[in-house]
Amino acid sequence: MDNLTQLINKIKENDASLFHKDFLLTWDKSDDELKLVLDTADLLQAFYRKNLSARCFNSGLAVSQFRDNSNLDEGKSQIAHGETVRETSNMISFLTEIIGIRDDMFLGAGHTYMMEVGKALDDGFKEGVLPQRPGIINLQCDVDHPTQSMADLLHLKHWFGSLEHLRGKKIAMSWAYSPSYGKPLSVPQGIIGLMTRLGMEVVLAYPEGYGLIREVVERAGIQSDHSMGSFTIVNSMEEAFHEADIVYPKSWAPYHNMERRTTLLNNNDQAGLKELEKECLANNARFKNWECTEGMIQMTKDGNALYMHCLPADISGVSCQQGEVSASVFDKYRIATYKEAGFKPYIIASMMLTNRFEDPAGVLEKAALTARKL
């Protein structure tokens, strides 16, 4: 029984289904649903590495919507906003199987918007406007970044051998200094919202004032209890890195500043925005020592923790004067971070496939048989 068959059987034995379910937040999915995504991603990678065609769509569109400031309907009333969402959602969906949405700029906006789109698509399908209800995949919102965190998890699974091997491993999700400002919170939130389900020892570290959205933090706590792992918040990078198996040093903006920024942007208050940026950069600068240096890595398990990053990283002396990680540390782990990133296309493809096909393993099994005959 070869590798493909093993993977196909593993997926078939999994009773979970993501058929016609949007993928917005990892914590809305069951463990088995997450495993379905991971295993299908592995299978797609195996197809690609064997040069087997995994083509399963003969028609249909995948649409990407990247929302930013200009889409924000500034000054628009709530009713006008709702009308636009309903109309746009239906107009882009007549022949569409999947809509990927990225909307990470404004706290309170991204996830809410994706839910609104989902509701509009439900109505459009129910009313007979749409021949099918397209699936939605969250490509990054204000709350979660599931394609990133799931790619990160798949990387960890391969690095340590299995999901089971992650149990008891210590992961430090740590704030790190960056000379830039306003980086979203979705990566650290995605990490603590996912890794606390694996029985891991999850430590979240940040300077006072750089906290994350309360709901995600609370959920991380509950999940770590449930998975027999742990979840701790500390205000010291050193403490987080101590004996860690994995470190994820990454800058983000403080939650309350992101809220102020959203208000200022909605009011188009340019002076206020300038002032806020100045304040934030000055505040950031107090924590320049939050850098992942060789010395910091020395504190980790056997001085050899796995370094992770969603890329691009702010590398001291390379992409900036001083940043999240020293050049020598990054250099050592560059290839590992590239591999980490390399799981993302398969995760996204897996989310698309499991959304559109009731029996994804069967579809790929058939594709494999056809491909082999050729």
Which residues in this chain contact a copy of itself in the complex, by CB under 8 A?
45, 48-49, 53-55, 58-59, 77, 79-80, 83-84, 86-87, 90-91, 94-95, 124, 127-131, 311-312, 315, 317-319, 327, 334-335, 338-339, 341-342, 344-345
> Residue 52: CA atoms inside 13 Å, Cβ hemisphere, count?
19
Round to whole Å and give the CA distance between 54 and 44: 7
Round to whole Å and give the CA distance between 35 and 76: 41
Compute CA distances 126 → 122, 331, 353, whole Å.
6, 53, 23
DSSP state of 9: H
C-beta closer to a copy of itself: residue 172 or 306: 306
CB of 354 to a copy of itself, least distance (A): 18
C-beta closer to a copy of itself: residue 209 or 342: 342
C-beta closer to a copy of itself: residue 53 or 298: 53
CB of 55 to a copy of itself, least distance (A): 6
Contact yes or no for 196/231 (Cβ under 8 A): yes
Task: Please name the amino acid found at residue 232.
Answer: T
C-beta closer to a copy of itself: residue 93 or 189: 93
C-beta closer to a copy of itself: residue 251 or 337: 337
Round to whole Å and give the CA distance between 242 and 328: 20
C-beta closer to a copy of itself: residue 271 or 335: 335
CB of 358 to a copy of itself, least distance (A): 12
**Number of helices and strands in the chain (H, E):** 14, 8
Please name the residue that has the structure tokens 């088995």.
Answer: 32
CB of 53 to a copy of itself, least distance (A): 4
CB of 32 to a copy of itself, least distance (A): 27
CB of 96 to a copy of itself, least distance (A): 10
Dihedral angle of Cα 331, 161, 30, 249, to the nearest 10 degrees = -20
C-beta closer to a copy of itself: residue 47 or 106: 47
| Helix, strand, coil percentages for the chain (3-state, nearest 5) | 50, 15, 35
How many other β-carbons are positioned within 10 Å of the β-carbon of residue 192? Answer: 25
C-beta closer to a copy of itself: residue 194 or 325: 325
Contact yes or no for 355/18 (Cβ under 8 A): yes
CB of 178 to a copy of itself, least distance (A): 15
CB of 337 to a copy of itself, least distance (A): 9
With b for 16 or more beta-carbon neighbours within 10 A and e for fewer, the 163-175 pattern comes to beebeebbbbbbb
Record the tokens describing residue 329, joined without a space.
């540390």
Contact yes or no for 32/348 (Cβ under 8 A): no
CB of 60 to a copy of itself, least distance (A): 9
Round to whole Å and give the CA distance between 22 and 34: 13
C-beta closer to a copy of itself: residue 40 or 90: 90
